[in-house]
């Protein structure tokens, strides 16, 4: 037998054994979590020194498990996530997750004012456009998720919601360390808006607080967890509404804006514990920060609403991504964190951060 052939055979056997060993180790739940946790946090990219980041989530964030129990507040939610993604490792485990202090939920919503609209573009595709307006500094993360039991999606996460600092210089230093990145493991559960592979887009906008009445037979979800539910589980507006009927929402200060690639859009509000669904009588729909199901109720943003509505009315046959971004610019506030356009026909996403409309970030989610 040729010695070289024998060497090659042994080399192949060694490689095969290593592959089998890695497969065996990877099949161990604890090690699998640690590997995918590392892959997730290692995928973080700094797109802008001013506060724009990108990450691909490789872990199983156990949404189906969460949906069975829900959470009554954000601390309870984060406890679930931290246990799911970190597991109670020993104190000397170099990959253990550090969980920073969590602010009270109300501080995330204070003075939040947003504008959004949905419309057809001049090529027949649906566009969903939204400004996130929130006072102060707010770094953001574009997050890709691809769950085994749901639809893949891209969503935008505001990072102070995760317990991270809003001082971007300090944040950049913190995110250079593995432990400093660990709060990002919470990101799938707190999207501000997003689009899935079916072209469904969802967002929340603030309204004056309403009393919430609960059905004790249904789990309780927060506003952003409802968005995660819909991104993962719904392909159309109709499916989204059916999903929402199965849960309580613990937050009475929000309405949900949902649109699909077929041209359907709705706003969902909760009035006196009852779910209200508002359709548009136009080929477009506009939402700001007052109730659409009861316009006599207090709220903000009527001037922004009218501006966007009038611009869409006069240009509805000639809208493209640039025109949509111009409308967002026309209704922006000094507190606008970002303006974002989701093209539900192409999967393209355009994000202008911190009022810089000359430098727009482009992402894409492959539509299926």
Q: Measured between alpha carbons, how far apart are the two ends of the chain, in Å?
A: 53
Q: Give the pLDDT band (50/70/90) at residue 107.
A: very low
Please say whether the structural domain 43-364 has been given the CATH code 3.40.640.10.
Answer: no
Highest mean pLDDT of the ranges 52-56, 100-104, 311-315, 318-322: 52-56
pLDDT score recorded for residue 111: 59
- For position 128, what pLDDT does the model report? 99
Q: How many helices (H) and strands (E) does the chain have?
A: 11, 17
Q: How far apart are CA 172 and CA 137, in angstroms?
A: 14
pLDDT value at 91 more than 50:
no
The mean pLDDT of 207-233, rounded to a whole number, is 90
Kindly indicate the confidence band of residue 9, based on its pLDDT and cuts at 50, 70 and 90: low
Q: What local confidence, expressed as pLDDT, does residue 25 receive?
A: 54
How do beta strands 126-133 and 113-120 pair? antiparallel
What residue segments make up the domains of the chain, in order of their start? 3-34, 43-364
Residue 59: φ, ψ to 5°:
-80, 160
Confidence (pLDDT) at 88: 41
pLDDT tier, 104 (very low <50, low <70, confident <90, very high otherwise): very low
Average of per-residue pLDDT across 56-85: 88
User: What H or E segment, with its residue span, contains residue 80?
Assistant: helix 74-86
């Amino acid at each position: 037998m040729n010695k070289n052939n024998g060497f090659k055979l042994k080399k192949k056997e060694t490689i095969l054994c290593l592959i089998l060993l890695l497969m065996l180790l990877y099949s161990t739940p604890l090690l699998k979590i640690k590997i995918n946790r590392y892959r997730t946090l290692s995928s973080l990219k700094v797109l802008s020194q001013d506060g724009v980041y990108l990450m691909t989530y490789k872990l199983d964030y156990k949404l189906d498990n969460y949906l069975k129990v829900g959470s009554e507040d954000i601390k309870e939610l984060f406890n679930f996530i931290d246990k799911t993604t970190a597991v109670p490792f020993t104190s000397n485990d170099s990959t253990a997750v550090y969980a920073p202090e969590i602010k009270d939920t109300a501080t995330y919503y204070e003075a939040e004012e947003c504008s959004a609209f949905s419309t057809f573009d001049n090529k027949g595709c649906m566009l969903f456009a939204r400004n996130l307006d929130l006072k102060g500094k707010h770094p953001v993360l574009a997050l890709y998720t691809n769950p085994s039991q749901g639809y893949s999606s891209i969503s935008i996460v505001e990072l102070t919601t995760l317990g991270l600092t809003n001082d971007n210089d300090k944040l950049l230093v913190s995110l250079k360390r593995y432990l400093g990145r660990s709060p990002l493991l919470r990101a799938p559960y707190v999207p501000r808006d997003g689009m899935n592979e079916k072209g469904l887009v969802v967002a929340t906008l603030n309204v004056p607080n309403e009393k919430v009445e609960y059905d004790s037979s249904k789990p309780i979800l927060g506003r952003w967890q409802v968005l995660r539910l819909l991104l993962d589980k719904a392909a159309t507006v109709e499916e989204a509404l059916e999903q929402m009927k199965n849960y309580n929402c613990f937050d009475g200060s929000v309405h949900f804006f949902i649109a699909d690639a077929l041209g359907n859009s709705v706003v969902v509000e909760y009035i006196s514990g009852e779910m209200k669904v508002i359709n548009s009588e136009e080929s477009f729909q506009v939402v700001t920060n007052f109730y659409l199901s009861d316009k006599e109720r207090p709220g903000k943003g009527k001037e922004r609403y009218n501006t966007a509505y009038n611009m869409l009315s006069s240009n509805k046959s000639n809208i493209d991504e640039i025109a949509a971004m111009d409308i967002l610019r026309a209704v922006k506030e000094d507190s606008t964190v970002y303006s974002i356009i989701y093209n539900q026909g192409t999967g393209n996403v355009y994000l202008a951060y911190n009022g810089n409309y000359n430098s727009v970030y482009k992402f894409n989610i492959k539509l299926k």
